[in-house]
Amino acid sequence: MKTIEVKDLLSISGKGGLYRFIAQARNGIVVEAIEDKKRHVAPATARVSSMEDIAIFTEGEDVPLSDVFYKIYLKEEGGTAISHKSENKELKAYFLEILPEYDEERVYVSDIKKVISWYNSMHAFDLLKVIDKEEEGKEGEEGQESEKSQESEKAKEAAAAQSKPAEQDQKGKDSKEAAAKEEGSQ
């Protein structure tokens, strides 16, 4: 099944637009605004949501945001969606076309506006990359295996580094004891 890639894209509560994760900082995370490419630190107290973790409530299972973006992409044939500033009735009707099973009681118009706004931002900055979910899953598994082997290697190196001082301490103690015995025998 195909979907839209949303890896490293973030939403920060209270700030408009989308952000890209850059790095972990001492007191939060470094993000880059999609619109103007300016970087700043989002403090640890900020409510930051990863696009990968957001889903839309439906009558059945929740639908990941990336899948909703893909449905909009198909409906619009890769073009932009309606304006997020459209009237509420128009937005609800549009969302019903895209995701007929969405839960109208738990998905508010403000949520629909955000989804459409995010989609249009991604379109404007050429971030609508269609990927195959199965391939992404396989790559993720391979990546996890290599991460595990890297972590294992790091753990081995850390253990080796910790044992060297202990060996040196033991050697130091042995040489001190030998020196003390020599002094005592003289």
Rounded to the nearest 10°, the torsion over CA 65, 71, 74, 79 is -50
> How far apart are the C-alpha atoms of 113 and 27, rounded to whole Å?
31
Nearest to 34 by CA among 130, 118, 114: 118
pTM, whole model, 2 decimals? 0.70
* pLDDT for the residue 174: 52
Q: What is residue 149's predicted lDDT score, i.e. its pLDDT?
A: 42
Question: Quick one: pLDDT at residue 176?
Answer: 52
| Cβ–Cβ < 8 Å for 17, 5 | no
CA atoms of 79 and 81, how far apart (whole Å): 7
- At 143 the pLDDT is 45
- Grouping H, G, I as helix, E, B as strand and the rest as coil, residue 10 is strand
pLDDT at residue 137, rounded to an integer: 53
pLDDT mean by block of 10 residues, the chain; 186 residues: 89 92 93 94 93 94 95 93 95 96 95 95 92 64 44 39 41 51 53
Q: Rounded distance, CA 78 to CA 75, Å? A: 8
Residue 20: count of CB within 10 angstroms of its CB: 17
Q: Give the residue from 34, 66, 67, 28 showing the smallest Cα distance to 48.
A: 28
CATH number of the domain at 2-133, please? 1.10.10.1650
